[in-house]
Amino acid sequence: MKTEELLKTMLDLGLCFSGEYRGSQIERVEWVDKVDGKAKGFVKAMHLFEFGVGGSVKSIRIEQPLPKTIEDPKQVEVTLQRGKRYLLQLLNLDKNRDNIWGRLNPEFEPVEVG
């Protein structure tokens, strides 16, 4: 992606992030609803990215919302490649102590930038 295209994409996106992909964890979260006593759950994807800030490397965990139709983590295929840089559109970004968390916009596919 050329620099002009990248800049235009970033301006169109609003809250965005660019970092190097390091890995993913797909898991099923389950609990028992206290109201009706039934088991509930969903599958979520967490991706780890790294980026440089002021000469140091920071990591950020990005949560990817998955469709409710997915019930097994084995149904999820991660197409991101380790070591490549991606541009992501985020719905939110949060910092708690030294941990940085974000939530990926489900309507935007990550774009490889280098």
The CATH number covering residue 75 comes to 2.40.50
Domain count, the chain: 1
Considering the entire predicted model, what is its pTM? 0.78
The 3-class SS string of the chain reads: CCHHHHHHHHHHHCCEEEEEEEEEEEEEEEEECCCCCCEEEEEEEEEEEEEEECCEEEEEEEEECCCCCCCCHHHCCCCCCCCCEEEEEEEEEEEECCEEEEEECCCCCCEECC
Q: Which domain holds residue 21?
A: 3-112
pLDDT of residue 9: 65
Please report, in tens digits, the pLDDT of each residue of the chain (114 residues total).
Answer: 566 665 666 666 667 778 899 999 999 999 999 999 999 999 999 999 998 877 788 889 999 988 889 989 999 999 999 999 998 888 888 888 888 899 998 888 888 887
pLDDT of residue 6: 59
